[in-house]
Amino acid sequence: MNYEEFFTNRSTSEISKDLLGRTLSFNNGNELLSGTIVEAEAYVGVKDRAAHSYGGRRSQANEGLYRPGGSLYIYSQRQYFFFDVACQAEGEPQGVLIRAIDPLTGIDTMIKNRNGKTGPLLTNGPGKMMQAFGITSRKWDLARLEDSPFDIDINHKRKIEKITALPRVGINQSDPKWAKKKLRFIVAGNPYVSDIKKKDVKKNHGFI
């Protein structure tokens, strides 16, 4: 299976769920920085009030969502950058936001990139994750995943005890329907999930 097949052959929610347990890596030219995806959020296109493509909005800023599945949509808010992969066929602007990873390799470099932050604070949010990778621009926006220094291992994944679907965070509460939709998927018990409570963290990080 190639990236385009992986990111187009079922619903965006299912794709988001299937990304959990897979390795996301970034080659910075010197070493491989990587982690296991433990939180991913689906955005389901023009009907989704939380999506950047809601109502068919299309601009240079969100063009990545309209590209074929497996294309990168990297966007910024304030000083942070976010890693989103387009899902579905070209012209159907859906995507998945990778929200958090459980670090695997290049951890010392990630700590430096995060100004000394360690533990869950290293990568327990989409902006933190990209800062840990050292991403400071939208340079790879619109690139195909296979033509970028990013990689997602679609052939292997860690076994997960339990996947939980939760409402998305930071969504405008003026639209209760979309604010409450359970389109954020997490590895239950993993300490790197963005809003997990300490009492819910598992020693095995939610993996078998």
Residue 34's CATH number: 3.10.300.10
207 within a domain of the structure (yes/no): no
Give percent above pLDDT 70 in the chain: 98
pLDDT at residue 190 tops 80: yes
pLDDT at residue 41 tops 70: yes
40 within a domain of the structure (yes/no): yes
Of 163, 167, 164, the C-alpha closest to 181 is 167
For the residues 38-59, what does the mean pLDDT come to?
Answer: 94
73 within a domain of the structure (yes/no): yes
Domain that holds residue 133: 3-200
Q: What is the predicted pLDDT for the residue at 173?
A: 59
| Number of domains, the chain | 1
Q: What is the predicted pLDDT for the residue at 54?
A: 92
Tell me the C-alpha distance between 164 and 186, whole Å.
Answer: 5
Across 88-169, the runs of DSSP E, i.e. the strands, are 94-105, 150-152, 163-166
Give percent above pLDDT 90 in the chain: 90
208 within a domain of the structure (yes/no): no
What residue spans of the chain are helical by DSSP H? 3-6, 12-19, 107-113, 126-133, 176-180
pLDDT at residue 175 tops 80: no
Decide if 43 contacts 189 (C-beta within 8 A): no
Residue given tokens 């932050």 in the structure block:
117
142 within a domain of the structure (yes/no): yes
For the residues 111-133, what does the mean pLDDT come to?
Answer: 98
Q: What is the predicted pLDDT for the residue at 169?
A: 82
